Structure 1
Amino acid sequence: MSRTGVSGEGGQGVGRFGHAELPSRQAAALKKAKRLEVITLVFMASAIALVAATMGSSQAMKTAWIEDMLALVPPLAFLVAVRRARKRPTADHPYGFHRSTAIGHLTASVALLTVGLALMYDAGTGLVRAEHPPIGTTHLLGQTFWSGWLMIGAMVYTGVGPFILGRLKLPLAEELHDKVLYADADMQKADWMTAAGTIVGVLGIGIGLWWADSGAALLISASIVRDGWRNLRHASSALMDERARTYDDKHPHPLTRDVDAALQRLAWVGDSRSRVRDQGHVFHVEAFVQPVGDAPSLDQLEDAVEALRDLDWKVNDVVVMPVRDLPDTIPDPRAGQDESK
């Protein structure tokens, strides 16, 4: 017995991911998240232009500039993914298009890791060659001053926006169970930390520490590589049908345990084993139940499906299969599986 779809609060959902109708709270969160991503794209475009105009020959500024360009990838991936996920299942895609979120997550991860490694190599060779980046003077509005102050001003601008936007996105990522949005918020954190590191590097040059610029660039690129590798690992695991995890990938999602707990509360169910797969925003549940006594009726199976769907809006596609013997390929959730990764 299976059923797809989830109703909104009081049947008044106002948004969709494919067949999954969002409750009003999540629909409002999705609308806000899309608005924030558009604001992010506009802000980062202005930051890219400002840093390009002021970076001079600074390696740290160049690295920050490239990271700002990379920061465009997650919001673009999010906007494309949520649009794609709204499509209803087709004959060729019977599970729907929810996995577009996982593809967006993987794309952003590969971009981060690849460019981070390239920047790390560039900064490392700069240190080995003992490059001394010059920062000259600028004549503006009748005044001549050190160009480093313009660089620092640009970094302050590029740091404030991500600091605010990243904090606004984190609760929305949790509300929507959206890992691309979480990766974007995480990268926004890296952006403002990059800006702070770049300011230190530029000031270092100003006081005669030639290695401060390449050193700051090396630390920034190492941070990019770390973020890229972590996100790539989680995105790859999700595409290999890892059990559903929380939006930040830190723990198995509580619903992976709640599904069996809900089934085992039913009078006719003796025991159960379930597989909960993360499709992107919503979960696909395959539940194998061992009945007590006679085979369950159609009504009992429908009640079991409804009991699982009532757990959470994310429980979208549910299959409940009565079996004589539980599959030994599915671990017992009560056996104390590792909760970390």
Structure 2
Amino acid sequence: MPRNKQILLDNRPQGEATASNFKLVESDTPALKDGEVLVRHHFLSLDPYMRGRMNDARSYAAPQPLGQVMQGGTVGEVVESRSPKYAVGDKVVGFGGWQEYSVVAADQPGALRKVDTTHVPLSYYLGAVGMPGVTAWYGLNGILQPKAGQTLVVSAASGAVGSAFGALAKARGCRAVGIAGGPDKCRYVTEELGFDACVDYRPHKDAGSLSRAVKEACPDGIDGYFENVGGMVMDAVMLRMNAFGRIALCGMIAGYDGQPIPMAYPQLLLTNRLLVQGFIVSEHMDVWPQALQELGTLVATGKLRPRESVAQGLAAAPEAFLGMLKGKNFGKQLVKLT
């Protein structure tokens, strides 16, 4: 059995996360038992939600255990099998974590899923045709419930969730407006992803200034907002929401270091009779097949053209993860292991 490099959560962050919170180790891969398969990971996924799980705090999911492999999505190839369900060479998506190999019980519900790479690259199953894409799909359809002609806005628009959201919104005849950091990301959002407009938040120092830029991009106001960031960005959008608008609350990356995120204009929730709904996509597994089918079609037909930021080698994962939290990635952040 091969030796396996792994990255563990060694200690919990005190404020901002650092590379010293992680530890790289090497161990033997255990021999397979009946019903198990050995997966060699080709890519592992780095996602903002992982930062919240590094804290020992009450949340929607249990904290990442100390001294154990960092948890997260993976795609790879079956290299040994003692299960009739999987053959050597099968491409699979799973939750193998920050390591080169994982041993998976084939009968464990949801632990592993075969994927077809004929028209969709393997890495996309961690992004556009994976959890981030389904997150965008559910927030759009389950909460925002758009009608053709409405204006929909998404923060972190160039990322894995935001890019899928734009393609899905356009497919429903909506005006799609993104918010992203920097002119390069904004150009990608409009020119490659097909958004109608994109607002660069970086030149703006306060919510009032950013809100004026949002107003220019959304002259008819905002009917639905998909929130990934919080803080000043959310405040700016709140000032432009139409009456009876809906907000799908997916992420609050502005507060992942544990600092409070005050809301500047909570009265607008009442004034505009807004619906704000937080959600966790893993609680809506019933929609995944329908969502993945649509997302796969959008990718295969070129209507969704996701970008990826790819770090090389397992040892690069901590710095790539910390960079993603600061917006240094362009599109879905991955680590390539083979």
Which structure is larger by alpha-carbon Rg, 1 or 2? 1
Whether these two folds match at TM > 0.5 is no
Structure with the largest fraction of helix: 1
Structure with the largest fraction of strand: 2
User: TM-score, normalised on structure 1?
Assistant: 0.24
Which one has more relative contact order, counting CA pairs under 8 Å at least 6 apart? 1
User: TM-score, normalised on structure 2?
Assistant: 0.24
